[in-house]
Amino acid sequence: MPDRPLLDGITVLDLASVGPAVRASRWLADWGADVVKVGPVPKDAGVQIVPPAHAYSAQRGMRRVLLDLRSDGGRDAFLRLAATVDVVIESFRPGVVDRLGIGFDDVSTVNPGIIYCSTTGYGQTGPRSGWAGHDLNYLAVGGYLHCSGREAGGGPALPGATVADSAAGGLHAVAAICAALVARATTGEGTHLDVSIADGVLSLMSLTIDEFLSEDSRPGPRSGLLTGRYAWYDIYEASDGGWLAVAAIEPRFFASLCTELDCTRWLDHQYDDLAVEPMRADFAAAFATRSRDEWASHLGPADTCVSAVLEIPEVVADEQFGSRGGFTEVIHPTAGTIRQVAAPLAGQVDATTLQVRDQSVPDTDQILAHAGLSATEIGELRNAGAIA
């Protein structure tokens, strides 16, 4: 691992309170960036959602500044602050930051090297750009839900995680920001990143969509290799009611699976469409003879690409994640000690207990002073209600 965090020396202003943009700043902070959360002054506190203590890793390692961005003083203080940072992340609807006077053009005037990331549901342009939405909506319009499993009534099943917010939005923004930082290191120029969560879902679905565009297929549940068309890529129930995930795509893994399940009669029929259902029935009968954990411990090391479907309490206790520092603890000012998922890169967050800043006590004065505002200016802004 490097001697210092990967993003050490990078400062981020995060204007979001929930959703993909907050997930992005969470990753950036875990990788070493100094993230400053920009929140409203108390009289406008209701304009932002206040997530529960455990959400977004309790904003561990972040600082907070409170500004009234609708006031001249609050806007000017934000621009003074933005002149000293590397990245601004916002998730307002298109056009809002420009009306507030803190959009990309405003910030780049005082900081030509700024990386300005606007994260929205449908992007800054297009017929849906002004629409409200959440994770499920973006998974719906991007084809993800249609290709997923079905509920008993025949409709698409609700996903077990916020795939759009996390991967299509948060990680999409992180990748774009990191790429822009690399480009700036060469050109010295900043850029405005238009991150659309729906566009991110489109990218996540590219294997399926590109297959349709190339071969005029009709993707859907169990229509393709990765959605359960074949018996060797599916979920099976064990004797104890537990479940096992089987993903034996490569021929050698498929051969190992057939051998270990005593189903060798299917060795030469991996892609035989006529063999799919009888093969699935044989696999189901075999898995029903032993418990989930018996099969997982036997088949996991045997090059079969089989794993147990773990429930969340089991995930938290899992030895693999524990061995890689997958969890850490923070001390929250109101919730006490909280165990939570650590950084997505092993070793980027110390496994020792971290202190979460008391969000009711902002760091406004310290942050603005570091940006060059004098004590007199800070006092005047506070008296005017522009900061808190």
Report the residue count for the chain. Answer: 388
Complete DSSP assignment for 29-63? HHTT-EEEEEE--GGGGGGS----TTGGGGGTT-E
Nearest Cα residue to 166 out of 289, 29, 270, 23: 23
> Any catalytic annotation for residue 216?
no
> Any catalytic annotation for residue 134?
yes
User: How many Å apart are CA 282 and CA 347, to the nearest integer?
Assistant: 44
Contact 133, 122 (CB under 8 A): yes
Contact 6, 34 (CB under 8 A): no
Q: Write down the catalytic residue from 134, 268, 272, 298.
A: 134
Nearest Cα residue to 179 out of 241, 117, 135: 117
Q: Write down the catalytic residue from 14, 30, 34, 165.
A: 165
Nearest Cα residue to 5 out of 27, 43, 32, 38: 32
Contact 132, 197 (CB under 8 A): no
User: How many Å apart are CA 70 and CA 56, to the nearest integer?
Assistant: 27
Phi-psi region of 354 (alpha: psi -120 to 50; beta: other; left: phi over 0): beta
Q: Give Cβ neighbours of residue 294 (< 8 Å, ≥ 6 apart).
A: 238
Structure tokens at 240: 């104890």
Burial letters 35-64, b for 16+ CB under 10 A, else e: bbbbbbbeebeeeeeeeebeebbbbbbbbb
Catalytic amino acids? 134, 165
